[in-house]
Chains A and B, each alone.
Chain A
Amino acid sequence: MFAEKVIELLKESERNPDTIDPFKDEKIRQILEEMQTLFIMNMNDANATTENKSLWTTVQVRHSALERNKRCLLAYLYSRMEKIKTLRWEFGSVLPPDVRELLSDDEYEWFSRYSTNLASYMRSLGQDIGYSGIDLTENLRPPKALYMEVVCTTDYGKLELSDGDVVMLRRNSRHFLPAAECQTLVRQGVLKQIV
């Protein structure tokens, strides 16, 4: 049956809407091969239509199958693109290596270009009034207090604060730090806020 493999691809990616799967390079190649075969068969049959009018319907069917494959592939790549966009906002501009290997090379290049775009946009905000840009990825929720109490969940190492102080972040150590410094780390899961 036509277009079965693409559907499998899509079903797998729908199963985990919250994380991104590794890029299924092999499967995509197979699908492209299938499309190529269909196209060649269609070409042959289209040329043969002049003699046998009934082959025209077959050409229609194969053409629909080709369009269907194309649509599914595009949808797969688009959904991955949306997920990669979220990755930038959640993980920050540097991806940890185990996330990096889930993306294909082209996807990673897209990610870096998106990051650059975002950075130049953020820098340009408020330039007419004299600010050197606003970081949009922090304070995604309205902040409630200047300082917050956090406990560290992993051995992160040294964290340098903006006034030069160095804090040693070890597993299960508790700190009371300015919210602006800790926010990115809380979003990345290194620190956990205590209420």
Chain B
Amino acid sequence: MKNPIVDVIDATYKYKNHDGNDSENGVTDLTFSIDEGEFVVLLGHNGSGKSTLAKLLNGFLVPSKGKVFIDGNDTADEKLCYVIRSDVGMVFQNPDNQTVASIIEDDVAFGPENLGVPPEEIRQRVDRALKTVGMYEYKDRTPYKLSGGQKQRVAIAAVLAMQPKILILDESTAMLDPEGRKEVLDTVKSLNKENVVTVILITHYMDEALDADKAFVLSRGKIIKRGTPKEVFSDAEAVKEAKLELPVATAVSEELRKAGFDIKPTLTDEELAEEICRLK
């Protein structure tokens, strides 16, 4: 059996208050693992600890208790810091605040340049990464004029050029319009399927979890529900506790079931339509 690429064992991280005591924010006793090539969605509301978890995964934060292993490397080991960060690519929320250069291809080259990759190889990596996200034609332009979705795709390419094993998207769709969200999600999904990059998508939009292999629901620093999207969505209690909003199709089927109809929980509009047709 393969080793999991992400292995979190009993990890705790608490932010300090001004008086030096542990605050409420952070994560407590998280234990989970993610296998190579999986598409995992972390769901949680603001302050649920999902961004803290993301920072634990690329070594920005080191757990105060417990361990985090990325591809067998301990994030607490300072010597491995840059190995871990190049293995774990991270795309952030605001696309405007993560571009370094005024030209797209220069920005994508920033990561590999930092790693000391030979120039010819950087060129290849940059071209490949931009083609993967479908932004190759824009390589000479400035990121400033792009749409939000395009900017995030460039940010993904910038991370891909470092050839990471894991791609973490920390609320990367939160500032985008529906079209931009779809663009980014489609890009990420195809990356996961075709390039076998492990994807960890952090979001508070439940509908983004529909196609995931696994979904975790975080609330107040703890994982309160884990399983396939279907399992997670049908646990109304957990969803309510995490202050998440069910996708319309799931909410409708839930209400119908409460009203006494014999209907299965549904995830997508198509499933819902089928279920309703079956009812007669």
Decide whether A and B are members of one complex: no
